Each structure stands twice: as C-alpha cells, then as structure tokens.
Amino acid sequence: MRSLFVDERRCIGCLACKESCPEGKIRIMDDEVREIIFPSTCGNDCTICEEACQEKAISLGDERPGAPEITLRFHLIPCEDCLRGFITEPMLERLKASIPRDLQIDSSGLSWLRLCPSCRRALERERMAASHLRR
C-alpha cells in the first residue's frame, strides 16, 4: 500500500489522473463545482496517475494509515453558449497561456475558449457550412 499525496496549490483540476487511472480510483462529481476525490492509499503497483499529472501535483509515497481521502473543489466556468460548467479557472489560464499570441487572434478573439467542446464543434460546423455556401 502506498499513499497518494496531492498538492492542492499545483492541481488545476484537469482530470488527466482520473482519466488514466486503470482502476477508477479517482472519482469526480461535476456540477457547478468540480469535486475530485483522491484515495488516500492505493494498493496498485503503478505510477500512472503520478506520471499523467503534468502539474506534478500527485506523488506516491509511504503508506500513512488512517489518512483521509483528499477532496479538491473547483468552480466550473460555464460555456457561454449552453451555460454548462466545463472548465476550471486554472485550466482556462493554462490554455490561454499555451496558445501562441498570433494564433490567439481570430475573428472572435479568445471567446472560443469560453465555449465547451461540443458548442465549439457546432460553431465550427456552422462556419464551415457558411463558407461552403459562399463559394
């Protein structure tokens, strides 16, 4: 058995650890708030969650008997179109910072970042259909 340590100052709520855990041991509840529940200990002999975390927020160490689960909470920013919460503020900031400055400027500025993936795809489809009609 090993303990999971999660540094809440580093975690951005991206869920890469949850999505890569083969045992489904990291749970979430998504509503207006994203709640991520990390087990305090894990008996699996893997380091996948630690490696998946680009923020180096997870570390596996010696077992600490009786340690409680770790729950982190993030407010979810709503999509500007469908109004469903879809991204945490630190994730949005990371995303903004990762886009080269010249690519950040399109006809809608950075507003597309505030659309959830499915509304973004719908907007792209509309744009492509409109440009097809103009030809």
Q: How far is CA 5 from the centre of its chain?
A: 18
**Residue 76 binding ligand SF4, by CB under 6 A:** no
Judged by CB under 6 A, the residue of 37, 46, 95, 122 near ligand SF4 is: 46
**Residue 49 binding ligand SF4, by CB under 6 A:** yes
Please choose, from the candidates 42, 38, 36, 37, the residue with its C-alpha nearest in 3D space to the C-alpha of residue 3. 42
User: For residues 71 and 108, which CB has a smaller minimum distance to ligand SF4 in the complex?
Assistant: 71
**Residue 74 binding ligand SF4, by CB under 6 A:** no
Judged by CB under 6 A, the residue of 58, 70, 76, 115 near ligand SF4 is: 58
The position carrying tokens 């949850």 is: 18
Judged by CB under 6 A, the residue of 37, 48, 95, 113 near ligand SF4 is: 48
Residue 25 to residue 94: CA distance in whole angstroms:
26
**Residue 12 binding ligand SF4, by CB under 6 A:** yes
Judged by CB under 6 A, the residue of 3, 15, 95, 120 near ligand SF4 is: 15
Here the tokens at position 6 are 């999660």
Q: Which of residues 84-113 bind ligand SF4 (CB under 6 A)?
A: none
Residues that bind ligand SF4 (CB under 6 A): 6, 11-17, 21-23, 25-26, 36, 42, 44, 46, 48-49, 52-53, 55, 57-58
